[in-house]
Structure 1
Amino acid sequence: MKTIYVYVLDTLADWEIGYITAEINSKRFFKRDAPLVQIKTVSYSKKAISTMGGFKIAPDCLVEEIILNEDSILLLPGADTWNEQKNSKIISISRELLSVGGTVGAICGATVAVANIGLLNDHSHTSNGIEFLEMFCPSYSGQNLYLNQSSVSDNKLITAGSTGSLLWSKQIIESLDVFESDTLEAWYNYFSTGNSNFFFKLLQTLPSNQESELSGEQ
């Protein structure tokens, strides 16, 4: 079974993880033979955190309980508190996870956190701009690998800027291999354009029983 660990910390940017958590939890667009996937929230303590939107999240597990293997995916959402020392352990874990073949996704402020340990110096990546990384990470030297895109996936490191949550989610879903390719493309096109034609294309890519259940969701 694949496990997605979502790191939760105070001021977590709720909207940045909304697409990916909703689709993985609901499994509404999963293909028939999709691998099993579970989501766990993880943090430095079991104390509930407060998101930027004011919601409380009680972590399912601690950082030390993360299983480091190729079936683990660690998602690091944006937040205003990444510079706090208590978050340093999860950043070290992200390097270890990549080294054993796992996947790491970092978005917005979390890109600075992974930049601070050098992960962006040898992976193609993006963020909220090169200047953003240079301002908050003096040791950053990956300018030649920076891509001016909303989300970038390179060798199991998936990075995004603050406005890239949809493409970031698409790339994460693609790495999990839980959607058919035409389903994923229609899903992305619908949510990125709002064009209802893509919604019906999305339904047409699904098994008939799923299509009938979802036809009222537009």
Structure 2
Amino acid sequence: MNTIYVYVLDTLADWEIGYVTAELNSGRFFKRGGRNLSVKTVSYSEKSITTMGGMKVVPDCLIEDMVVDETNMLILPGADTWNDAKHTAILKMAREFLAHGAKVGAICGATVALANLGILDERPHTSNGAGFLAMFSPNYKGQDFYVDQLSVVDNNLITASSAGSLLWSKQIIEQLEVFQSDTLEFWYDYFNTGDSNYFFKLMQTLPSDE
């Protein structure tokens, strides 16, 4: 079973991970024979965290319990508390994941934390604007690799701006290969436009129970 680790920390931006965690955990649109995934929340402490929306989350496991494997993935959500030193351990784990070929998804404030650690210095990435990382990450030297898009895939790293959560979720799902390609396109088109025609096309791509 592949494990998708979702790092949880105080002030976590609820909406940024909502699309991807809901789909990966429920598997409601998975293709037949899609990979068996386990979504686990992980943190630096066993204590609950409070999201930006006021939700309490008790982590499933601690950082030291994580398994570094190319079949697993680490998702780093945005938050206002990434500059706290207690998050250094998960950032080092993110570096280890990338080094072992495992996937890492980072959005909004998490991209700032990666930038400050030098992880974005020599690979294409994005964030909340061209000058955003330089403003908030004093060690950032990756300006030449910045891509002004909502979400950017560079091999096993997927970064996104705070406004790119839907596209970021699509790209993560695509990397994990758990949807049929047409299912994923219609899923994205429906949530991106609200056009009900895409919803019915999405439903028609799903495998029947027969």
Say yes or no: TM over 0.5. yes
Q: Distance in 2 between matches of 1:74 and 1:102?
A: 8
1:196 equivalent in alignment to 2:196: yes
Q: Partner residue of 2:131?
A: 131
Q: Partner residue of 1:119?
A: 119
Q: Partner residue of 1:177?
A: 177
Q: Distance in 2 between matches of 1:188 and 1:146?
A: 24
4+ residue runs of structure 1 moved beyond 6 angstroms?
none
Q: Partner residue of 2:165?
A: 165
Structure 1 residue 209, shift from structure 2 partner: 3.9
Aligned length: 210
Q: Partner residue of 1:45?
A: 45
| Contact persistence 1:126–1:160 (CA under 8 A) | yes
Task: State the Cα deviation string for residues 114-168 of structure 1 (Å, max 9, x = none).
Answer: 0011111111110001211000112212111111110001010100000000000
Q: Partner residue of 1:67?
A: 67
Task: State the Cα deviation string for residues 69-123 of structure 1 (Å, max 9, x = none).
Answer: 1011000000000000111100010001100110110000000000011111111
Q: Distance in 1 between matches of 2:169 and 2:123?
A: 19
Q: Partner residue of 1:214?
A: none
1:1-218, aligned counterparts within 5 Å? 1-209=1-209
TM-score (norm 2): 0.98
Q: CA RMSD in A?
A: 1.0
Structure 1 residue 171, shift from structure 2 partner: 0.6
SS at match of 2:9: coil
Q: Distance in 2 between matches of 1:186 and 1:209?
A: 20
